[in-house]
Structure 1
Amino acid sequence: MARRALILVEGTRSNGPRFVKAAQRLGLHPITLSIDPAQYDYLAAENVSAIRVDTKDLSALIHECSRLGESYDIAGITSAWEPFYATVGKLCQHFDLPGPDPTSIEKCCDKFTQRQLLAEAGVPIPAFRLAINATDIRAFAAEIGLPVVLKPVVGIGSRGVRLCRNVDELAEHTDYLLGEQYKWQTSPGILVEEFAQGPYYGANMMGNELIAVGVAAFGPPPHFVFREYTHPASLTDDEYERIADVSRNCLRALRLGWGPSNIEFRWTTRGPVVIEVNPRLSGGDPKLVQLACGVDLITEHIKLVAGEESDLRKSYSQTATAWYLVPENDGTLDWIDGISQAAAAPGIAEVKLYVEPKMPVVRRGDDRDYLGYVIASSHSPTHTAAMLRRAVDLISWSIAPRAGLGEQEQPASRNDLRSAQILQVTNDCRGR
């Protein structure tokens, strides 16, 4: 009998290793197809099968999957990375395997089309306009009223997304997006969007079922870089049901409902306002959800991909919080210490680093800024926050600034700074 294989189209540094390990636990042989397998260090570290193929070429992917099908029983095809999720849907259709609807995925991944469909369905969203040049941006920002958020129509990880609080910030980010620095995935299109103010929540769906709602806080504006993420969010029954109702309305409007999705909200004076619908698992949520309620979203997703029934029953209730390690300056990482001590601290579930000494550190104002993260879990939010704070305080690093930085741009004491940040962000996350 041929060995059952799970085909993974590309990977990610966050969920990629978890998909591999979950597949192995389910008795599947994971095979990653990538344009450059070497970019995923976990593949070599775990001796995971990987094949070099142009993952932007659907015909090449079909050919490679067909070739693999001669040696393996292909149980399913999926991806941990949103840019390839519509491609996954097309592959699943071609090979008659369970998977997402590629047309719905493509519409959802176009933020302008997504907002049009949500607005037509009466889903609460911020005011928005589509701009293609600087004149449009200035006019639409004046029409909506500052502050506004500028974001590319297609993109992930808050890349190219900025809060513009005044005309100078608006002009600066307009020049960045329309200049040569920003690399467009598609034809340039920019959303000018009302800034919905209020606490941030993320809803994790599997099919049409709401599994968990988390609460997060960001670092300083104008960027949207997570500093802390907690599951579960502290919500009343009514608040939870309102988020659940709006989430299901989003899936109906976008014709989603197979597999995972992640819906981002701001709780405003209008209640829950949808910021974004992502037709895939969130990068940081699966581990927190599993620690908080016992549901392994990645494993249950793979079961669906393989045509098996998912088990979404919650088995316990805890609080799990991730704290993201974010540098204070650009340069070269000299050293980073305290990782093993933090990992061994009470209540710490995971410590992950994305960097090594002598690597360049370049802040971009998006999800690529993270040096790593620390996750703690316990029976209570207060206890979890205290254990997390103690563990993070054990970690320190030194980044040698690039030549030409002024003295005022040198980093302060990182332990003192992070302790203050954790206390502040934790307080911000706890209430409205």
Structure 2
Amino acid sequence: MAKRALILVEGSITGNGLLYVQAAMRLGLQPITLSTDPTRYDYLGAESTEAIRVDTDNLDALIRECSRLREAFDIVGITSSLENVYATVGTLCQHFDLPGPNPTSIERCCNKFVQRQLLAQAGVPIPAYRLAANATEVESSAAEIGLPVILKPAVGSGSSGVRLCRTVSEIAEHTTYLLGGKHTWPSSPRILVEEFAQGGHYIAQIMGNEVIGITAAEFHRPPHFVFRGGIFPAPLTDEEHERIADVSLSCLRALGLGWGPTNIEIRWAKRGPVVIEVNPRLPGTPDPQMVQLAYGIDLTTEHIKLATGDGWNLRRRHSHTAAARILVPDRDGILDWIDGDTRAAAVPGVAQVKLNIEPKTPIVRKGDYRDCIGYVIATSPSLARTEAILQRAVDLISWSITPFPTLGEEEQSASPHLSARADVALGNR
């Protein structure tokens, strides 16, 4: 009898890829990863799971590979942890008559401008926005909306290329960065210019049409939006929770979603909940771990069950509080050393300590998810106790970074070389 297998299209360098592989194996499935470059994912070798090199931007190539694999395996599901291939996953599921997301809905959702249009048409509260294709349009759009504004690529994820601009010069600077060849565009360059909705940041964790819970999240210092940490469930009143949940479900209806995982980022502005972004996927690490620690619901496993046609269970097993802190360097340079993770992991109530980087690695901050060098997660029955545990653990972790040589120093000619190495090193972890 052929072994039941789960196809994973691409993986994740620092996110949920490993969680999907491990969950599939716990369910008795053979995880098979299809990737343009499987060597990017270190965990594939560590987990002794199968990985096949195939151009994941080529739908026909993926169909051929999946058809070939069906000769040896019982392919019971196809899914992914990545947003940029999730529409392709939906098309593959339709081709092979497997449960999956609606690819058209996913494509519309992943284009932030189209997403904004659909939400606005449905009356969902969102920031004022404009779409711009060049510097002149960006400048005029910002003038219409009023400073400060957010500039972001119309297509992308992980806060890549997203920046808060408070002045005209900052707008010009970031526009030059986005359109000047430094930013990698997955499609034609289009910039979304948005009103800066200020207020508490929340993330609705959704599976199907059910709001599992809401995370309270915070960022590091502006102008970029690098997550600093989160608390799950968010300390909200019943009324506040209900308002965020209602707005979130209205997003699903407006965008034709409601199958599988969705996470919706919301700011509680003066006018109440304002939708910043709808992401048709599980949130990245450490959000799934926090949900599992707090409620006993393994979102990754339940997503796989849905993708394989098995019944899922979203019932809470318990009600605790989980909190996470993202470790982010405060400067560029060479990491001399980093330690304390073992001591931090030994603190009672700490659930996980993960470091994504090793000594002697060059660091060049990007202002997005790639700046994360590790995280700590803690849990307990109460919010105050959880926060105290987390802070105690984080205080035990320290590191040292030697800045790159500055211009004019003897080694200045090495600086561009080191920066290039850093880009590669952080991008492949």
TM-score by length of 1: 0.93
**2:236 counterpart SS class:** coil
Distance 2:408 2:80 in 1: 44
Closer, same or farther: CA 373–406 of 1 in aligned 2, 3 Å: farther
2:340 to 327, 338, 341: 338
The residue number in structure 1 matching 2:396 is 394
The residue number in structure 1 matching 2:323 is 321
Q: Does 2:311 match 1:304?
A: no
Q: Does 2:262 match 1:265?
A: no
1:282-335 CA-to-partner distances (Å, cap 9, x unmatched) read 003111111111111000000000001110001111111110110011111121
Question: What aligned pairs does 1:405-420 form with structure 2 within 5 A after superposition?
Answer: none
How much has 1:406 moved relative to structure 2?
10
Distance 2:299 2:329 in 1: 30
Distance 1:357 1:69 in 2: 43
Misfit runs of 4+, over 2 Å:
none
1:379 to 360, 378, 381: 381
Distance 1:58 1:155 in 2: 20
Instruction: Name structure 1 gaps, 5 residues minimum.
Output: 408-432
The residue number in structure 1 matching 2:9 is 9
The residue number in structure 2 matching 1:412 is none
How much has 1:163 moved relative to structure 2?
0.3
Say what the alpha-carbon RMSD is for the aligned residues: 1.1
Question: What aligned pairs does 1:183-222 form with structure 2 within 5 A after superposition?
Answer: 183-222=184-223
Distance 2:52 2:361 in 1: 27
Closer, same or farther: CA 92–288 of 1 in aligned 2, 3 Å: same
Letter in 1 for 2:402: A
The residue number in structure 1 matching 2:255 is 254
Q: Tell me the percent identity.
A: 67
Distance 2:408 2:156 in 1: 33
Letter in 1 for 2:254: A
How much has 1:237 moved relative to structure 2?
1.0
How much has 1:160 moved relative to structure 2?
0.3
Distance 1:329 1:268 in 2: 31
1:350-398 CA-to-partner distances (Å, cap 9, x unmatched) read 0111111121111010000010100011111111111111111111111
Distance 1:106 1:359 in 2: 36
Distance 2:307 2:298 in 1: 14
Count the aligned residue pairs: 407
Closer, same or farther: CA 171–67 of 1 in aligned 2, 3 Å: same
Instruction: Name structure 2 gaps, 5 residues minimum.
Output: 410-429
Q: Does 2:134 match 1:140?
A: no
**1:24 counterpart SS class:** helix
1:55-77 CA-to-partner distances (Å, cap 9, x unmatched) read 11111111111111000000100
**2:243 counterpart SS class:** helix
How much has 1:248 moved relative to structure 2?
1.0
